[in-house]
Amino acid sequence: MDFVSLTEKIVKSIVMDSESVRVKEFDSDDQNTILIQVMVSDEDFGRVIGKGGRTANAIRTLVQASSALHENKNVRIDIDKF
């Protein structure tokens, strides 16, 4: 399963400017970990993080649950703005 496209689809459904969303996967030192970086515009950053980080944690939970079903790897998602 492609966790990058799953993450991208979730984030794009939340933000106002879906064209500015960038999602990339990076290599990890651990073979059992997938690192995903999400970049959103400054205006959409609050929407993606949510109150108290609830939205960001929900995104992480959804992608991690999908990973548990398909590849059973740890998924780490970092969200930042540009």
**Domains in the chain: ranges and CATH:** 3-81 (3.30.300.20)
Give CA–CA dist 28/58, Å, rounded.
23
pLDDT band at 48 (very low <50, low <70, confident <90, very high): very high
pLDDT band at 78 (very low <50, low <70, confident <90, very high): very high
Residue 3 has pLDDT above 90, yes or no: yes
SS3 content of the chain, % helix, strand, coil (to 5): 50, 25, 25
pTM of structure: 0.92
Which DSSP helix (H) or strand (E) runs through 23? strand 22-26
